[in-house]
Amino acid sequence: MESLWQKTNVLPEFPHQQGDIHTDVLIIGGGMAGILIAYFLQQQGVKYTLVEKNRICSGITGNTTAKITFQHGLIYQKILKSSGAETAQKYLTANQAALNQYSRLCKNIDCDYEVKDNYVYSTSDRNKLEKEMEALERIGYHAKLCENISLPLQTAGAVKFSSQAQFHPLKFIAAISKNLNICENTFVSEMVGNTAVTNHGKIIADKVIAATHFPFINKHGSYFLKLYQHRSYVIALENAQNVDGMYVDQSGTGLSFRNYNNVLLLGGGGQRTGKKSGCWNELRRFAGKNYPESKEILHWAAQDCMSLDSIPYIGQYSKNTPDFYVASGFNKWGMTGSMVSAMILSDMITGKTNDFADIFSPSRSILNPQLFVNGFEATKNLLTISKKRCPHMGCALKWNSAEHSWDCPCHGSRFSENGKVLDNPANGNL
């Protein structure tokens, strides 16, 4: 199962770790976040090593829909209500800066970078759209409330952010990664202080950054309570619509749309990992009804780490780990989340002040209704009788008949039919 990006690009290859290594900064994880962090550190002359257990971008980054936008659903009314105008303003400014960084870098990279408008639509709730417009006005951003959009859906309207962007993420990665210090096929099985134990030796570092999608060390940070994972699906269609923009349903369980050349990427069918959903069949039914002349050429799935308050965790792994950092919980917006992580963490590593670091701090309050949902799901599945248990924390696994995998409803680990680990936080096979 390959994504369109994997099908249309070849990434550079890197050797595995050669003997024990001493480095100033160890970056664990070779997705978009880890590679951008490495790129920024290299620009600033910092000695670092990045390790990836498989090939770079073979996980979540390879399966993104690659929208670069600071319109993350209807998030600004939510942040305004829970954390106030200053936090909402900082969140917007940070992600706006991330978009600008991509724009700057992509000027010299052939990665099909295109400026496009982004729309968050609702099929029924006009009130939520109007509240988002009010929230945006309060923090000084002027969006547009559209009455009609060019999708084959009945909607109550859409909030439009102009001049956002989309690109080919692996073409971008191929360009910025080729001169980086990367070890592929180097698996970190455990951390002993600031020493990483790998399948090829040890790596001793002054500072360590976990950019592994879901943080893999449980004894610090309580990420097993602060995060859950959401799985979503994509089909690539030829002979379908040119939507000339990027579209996402505000509900989080609806459909998303964007084009790449003459192909329409239709996303949706999602659910909390380990739960049942329509998967690709839901998308195929929609395409059959609305694009009857279309042809499906590819299909794939992606998985997103969801934080308690919809703001990523970027910064010190915990209050008790001054030299250990994390980037996670991007809530379906991994492109801007990765860039914000690179900006904040490269500043922290080099002793610079970052104006946005406080709102993304992983040590902020965890008092949120989602915390109790996560706790309930974990307790329920720990008590469920099942022969298949997740090695991460012992939860009962559920069979995913669409993808022929064993999925963990607690924290989102996934395993192949024969028990090979597919997605973390599990750090080993069944």
Enumerate the domain spans of the chain. 4-64+171-226+309-360, 228-306, 369-421
**Which of 291-295, 348-352, 381-385 comes out lowest in average pLDDT?**
381-385
Whether 252 shows a pLDDT value over 80: the answer reads no
- CATH fold group of domain 228-306: Alpha-Beta Plaits (3.30.70)
Angle in degrees, 0-180, between the axes of helices 126-138 and 85-106, rounded to the nearest 10:
90
Q: Over the stretch 215-237, which tens digit does the pLDDT of each residue have?
A: 988 889 999 999 999 999 999 99
Percent of the chain topping pLDDT 70: 100
Q: Over the stretch 167-213, which tens digit does the pLDDT of each residue have?
A: 999 999 999 999 999 999 999 999 999 999 999 999 999 999 999 99
* CATH class, range 369-421: mainly beta
Beta-bridge partner residues of 189: none
The helix/strand/coil state of 203 is strand
For residue 372, what pLDDT is reported? 86
The helix/strand/coil state of 230 is strand
**Residue among 237, 246, 251, 243 nearest 287 (CA):** 237
Please say whether the dihedral angle defined by the alpha carbons of residues 349, 425, 66 and 88, taken in this order, is positive or negative. Answer: negative
The count of other CB atoms within 10 Å of the CB of residue 192 is 9
Q: Across residues 88-107, what is the average pLDDT?
A: 98
Report yes or no: 232 and 270 within 8 Å, Cβ to Cβ: yes
DSSP string, 383-416: HS--S-B-TTT-PBPEEETTTTEEE-TTT--EEE
- Domain 4-64+171-226+309-360 maps to which CATH number in 1.10.443.10, 3.40.50.300, 3.40.80.10, 3.50.50.60? 3.50.50.60
For residue 367, what pLDDT is reported? 85
Q: Across residues 268-283, what is the average pLDDT?
A: 89
Whether 253 shows a pLDDT value over 90: the answer reads no
Q: Over the stretch 114-160, which tens digit does the pLDDT of each residue have?
A: 999 999 999 999 999 999 999 999 999 999 999 989 999 999 999 99
Q: Do domains 228-306 and 369-421 have the same CATH topology?
A: no
Who has greater pLDDT, 278 or 342? 342
Contacts of 193 (CB under 8 A, 6+ apart): none
